[in-house]
Amino acid sequence: MIEVGMKDIQDAYEQIEPFVFKTPMIYSEPTSRRVGSEVWFKMENLQMGGAHKIRGALNSMLKLSPEELKRGVVTASAGNHSLAVAYAAKLMETSAIVCVPEYAPLTKRQKAEKYGAQLLVCGPHFEDAERKAFEVARETGRKFIHAYETPETIAGQGTVMLECFREWKDFDAVLVPTGGGGLLCGTAIACKAEHPETKVYGLQTEASAPWLRSFHEKTLHNDCAYAPTCADGLEGAIGWPNVELALTCVDDIFAVTEKSLREGIKWMSVMHNLMIEGAAATCLGALFERHEALQGKRVLCLISGGNIDPERFCEICRESYPWQKEGKSKGEVA
Amino acid sequence: MIEVGMKDIQDAYEQIEPFVFKTPMIYSEPTSRRVGSEVWFKMENLQMGGAHKIRGALNSMLKLSPEELKRGVVTASAGNHSLAVAYAAKLMETSAIVCVPEYAPLTKRQKAEKYGAQLLVCGPHFEDAERKAFEVARETGRKFIHAYETPETIAGQGTVMLECFREWKDFDAVLVPTGGGGLLCGTAIACKAEHPETKVYGLQTEASAPWLRSFHEKTLHNDCAYAPTCADGLEGAIGWPNVELALTCVDDIFAVTEKSLREGIKWMSVMHNLMIEGAAATCLGALFERHEALQGKRVLCLISGGNIDPERFCEICRESYPWQKEGKSKGEVA
C-alpha cells in the first residue's frame, strides 16, 4: 500500500509554498441557489499553469538529487501534469521531455512547450504516452515523474485541501475530479486527518469511469467502455495502488454524464466569468445530477483546472440551457 | 465639488461587506514577465454580478429610507451598474427599473432581468438611457440611483482599493478602467489617504476618450470622436463633477487602442482562464502599450468586470497574436 500521511502533505506544502499560488476559495451564490446546497469553489484553475498539478510535480521534483536534476526528467500525461512538469523543470533549471496522447488539448501542449519542454505525441491512448515515457527514462537516465501514483505526487496534490482547511473546515462534502486518483487520495487523506466527518467523493465522467466498478467491487476493472469525452484530464485506465489507497479514505465515487459536464462549463462561464476544463466541470455535473445526496450540505468543489481549448469552450458557449433566457433579452423598447 | 473622504469609504465598506465578495488579488507571473513590471490583478470580475458596480449601488441603496425603498428605484447604465442595482433591489426587497442603451451587452441585460429588474432599452447612446431614467424617476417617484457621480457611489467603488490595501500596500501604480469615473475617484481617494506615493492612472479606450482632454485641459470636453468599442462599460460622454474631483487626486489618464484591449481579453483567457470584459482589459492594454511608464514598477490592475458576451469573447479568442504558437503545437510524433 502507498504510504502517505498528513505529515507528508504538510511537509509538501512547506516545500512548494514559495512556488505556488494560494488560490482563492469562493462561495457560489447562484450554484448554491440552484442546487439547494452551500457551494464553494477552490479555484485551482487560477493556479500556476492553470491546474493543481504543479503541486504534485514540484513536490516530486524538489526531492531529486543534483545528479538526477542534471540528467533531466520525463513524464507522460494527458496535459496538465505535462505542463506542470515543464514549469517545474524551468524553475529548477533542468530539462523535461513530456509524452502526451494525441487527444491532449492544444492549449495544454502549447503551455508545456512554452515552458521549454520537449513534447512527444505518442498514439491515441494515455497508455501509449506512458509506454514511450518509460522507454525514454530507461534510455536516457532521465527521472520519470509520475502523474498520480507516488507518495510525493499524492502529498503534493493533498496541499489543495490543506489550503482550504486553513480558511474554513466545516465542509460536509468535498467533490474531487478523479483521473489517476492523485488529487482524490491526497484530498481524502487530508480530510480524514483534519476533519473526518467530511465526506470525500471522487468524480469521473461516464465516458471513462474505471474507478466506479473498481472502487465498488474492490478490484481493478479497466474493462469499462470508453467514449470520447470533454474531460480529457480524466480519460483512461487506472492503476491498483491508488484504488487500494482510496478504499481506505474515500467515501464514494460518482460518474457524471457528458451532458452535465458541458452544462457545468457553460454555467461557470455565465455565472462566474470563468473558463474551466471538463475535468473540473464534473463537480458542477455532480451537483446538477445529485441534488438528493448533496441537498442542504456544505459542499466544496475542487475546480481542478481551467485549461480548455478555446474552440471547444466556444462550442459549448453556444449551447443553450433552460436556465438561460433564450435568444434576445426581453427588455422593452422605451 | 463632490465631497468624499477615506472615512466615507470605510463607512461604505462596513455597510456593504456582508453582501459583497472579498475578491481575490493575484500576482500574474506571465504578465509580469512580458511587460517587465510586477503585476497584480484585483479580480472584481468574480464579484457578485460579475463587476465591481455592486459596491456603489449597494452603498447608495442602503442609505434609502423605508418610504423611498417602497417606491422603488430606477437607473441608467450600459450594463454592469444596471445589474448591480437589480441585484441590490432584490436583496433589499424593492423593485428596480433599469434603462440601458441599445449597445448594452446581452449578458448584462439578461443578468439584470434575472435579478428581477424591469429593463427598458432606450436608443443608441448612454444619454438616451439616462434621459429616460430621469423621466421615470420624475413620473413615478422612484429614486434615481446614479452610476458614478454621487458621494455614495464613489465611496462604494473605493472599497475595492480598501480591500487591496488590507492585503498589501506598496503598489507604485494602480490602473483603473474609467467610464463615468466613480471607480477612478474612489480608488484615488483611497490611495492618497492610505499610500500617497501610489500613482493612480485612469484608463479609457481611444474609441471613447472624453476623459483624456478633459483631464489634461481641466475643462469638460465631450466633443471627442466616438467609435465602436469592445469596452462597452466605458463608452460615452462624462460629467464635470467627477473630472473636477479627479483633478485633485488622480495622477494621469491614458487611452489605449482597441487592438490592445482585444489582445488583453485573449491574454487573460490564455494565461489565466479568465473571461474579462473590454473595460477591464484596458489594464492589459496599458501594460502592453506603456512599458516605459510602468517599467519595473509594482502595478495593481483593477479588473473591474467580466461580463462579456460569449459571442464577442469567442470572436476574440479566434484572433492570434505573436506570443502564441501558431496553429498546431510543434510536438514531435513519437
- pLDDT tens track, chain B, 334 positions: 999 999 999 999 999 999 998 999 999 999 999 999 999 999 999 998 899 999 999 999 999 999 999 999 999 998 899 999 999 999 999 999 999 999 888 888 888 888 899 999 999 988 899 999 999 999 999 999 999 999 999 999 999 999 999 998 899 999 999 999 999 999 999 999 999 999 999 999 999 999 999 999 999 999 998 999 999 999 888 999 999 999 999 999 999 999 999 999 999 999 999 999 999 999 999 999 986 779 999 999 999 999 999 889 999 999 989 888 654 566 777 7
Q: Is 3.40.50.1100 the CATH classification of the domain at A6-51+152-317?
A: yes
For chain B, which residues make up each domain, given as ranges? Answer: 6-51+157-317, 53-144
Helix, strand, coil percentages for chain B (3-state, nearest 5): 50, 15, 35
Whether chain A has a CB inside 8 Å of the CB on B125: the answer is no
CA-to-CA separations, B171 to B6, B73, B300, in angstroms, rounded: 18, 38, 6
Q: Looking at chain A from residue 139 to 178, which residues have their Cβ under 8 Å from any Cβ of chain B? A: none
**Chain-chain contact of B269 with A310 (C-beta, under 8 angstroms):** yes
Say yes or no: A306 contacts chain B, CB-CB below 8 A: yes
Write out residues 10-29 of A within 8 Å (CB-CB) of B. Answer: 21, 24, 26-27, 29
Cβ-defined contact of B334 to A132 (cutoff 8 Å): yes
d(CA B97, CA B118): 5
Give CA separation, A266 vs A66, A86, A219, A278, A316, in Å: 45, 29, 36, 10, 6
Q: What is the Rg, in whole angstroms, of the alpha carbon atoms belonging to chain A? A: 19
Contacts of B119 in chain A (CB under 8 A): 329-332
Per-window interface: B 246-285 vs A, CB < 8 A: 269-270, 272-276
- Give the ipTM: 0.80
Asked if B48 is an interface residue toward chain A (Cβ–Cβ < 8 A), one would say yes
Two domains, one topology: B6-51+157-317 and B53-144: yes
What does the block give as the cell for A47? 493556479
Q: What percent of chain A has pLDDT over 70?
A: 98
pLDDT at residue number A143: 96
Topology at the third CATH level for domain B53-144:
Rossmann fold (3.40.50)
Structure confidence at residue A164 as a pLDDT band (50, 70, 90)? very high
Q: State the Cα–Cα distance between residues B108 and B312, nearest whole angstrom.
A: 13
Cβ separation of B331 and A113 shorter than 8 Å? yes
Closest residue on chain B to A331 (Cα): B119
For residue B312, the distance in angstroms to the closest alpha carbon of chain A comes to 10
Average predicted confidence (pLDDT) for chain A: 93
State residue A328's pLDDT score: 56
What cell was used for B41?
490583478
For the record, the C-alpha cell of B269 comes out as 483567457
Position A78 scores a pLDDT of: 80
Question: What's the pLDDT at B328?
Answer: 57
pLDDT at B246: 98
d(CA B74, CA B145): 6
User: B114 with A330: CB under 8 angstroms?
Assistant: no
User: Residue B333: its chain A contacts at CB < 8 A?
Assistant: 120-122
Give the residue from chain B lying closest to A265, CA to CA: B273
CB contact under 8 A, A107 and B270: yes
Phi, psi angles (nearest 5°) of residue A74: -145, 150
Tell me if residue B167 falls in helix, strand or coil: helix
- Best of A32, A118, A269, A273 to substitute, by most chain B Cβ atoms within 10 angstroms, is A273
Listing DSSP states for B86-117 in one string gives: HHHHHHTT--EEEEE-TTS-HHHHHHHHHTT-
Q: Does B314 touch chain A (CB under 8 A)?
A: yes
What DSSP string runs through B244-263?
HHHTTT--EEEEE-HHHHHH
pLDDT mean over A216-244: 93
**Residue B190 contacts residue B6 (beta carbons within 8 Å):** yes
Which segment of A136-145, A197-206, B117-126 scores lowest on mean pLDDT? B117-126
In this complex, do B308 and A48 lie within 8 Å of one another by their Cβ atoms? no
A328, closest residue in chain B (CA to CA): B106
Residue with cell 445526496: A293
Query: Which chain B residues are closer than 8 Å to A122 by Cβ?
Result: 333-334
B-chain residues within 8 Å CB-CB of A310?
269-270, 314, 317-318
CA distance A89 to A80: 14
Would you call B269 and A275 a contact, using CB atoms and an 8 Å cutoff? yes
Q: B6-51+157-317 architecture in CATH? A: 3-Layer(aba) Sandwich (3.40)
Name every chain A residue with its beta carbon within 8 A of the beta carbon of B324: 110
Please say whether the beta carbons of B105 and B307 come within 8 A.
yes
What digits encode the pLDDT tens for the residues A42-74? 999 999 889 999 999 999 999 999 999 999 999
Of B45, B121, B314, the CB nearest to A317: B314
User: Residues A235, B234: contact at Cβ < 8 Å?
Assistant: no
Residue A334: pLDDT band (50, 70, 90) is confident
Which residues lie closer than 8 Å to A211 by C-beta, 6 or more apart? A178, A181, A202, A204, A238, A243, A246, A253, A255
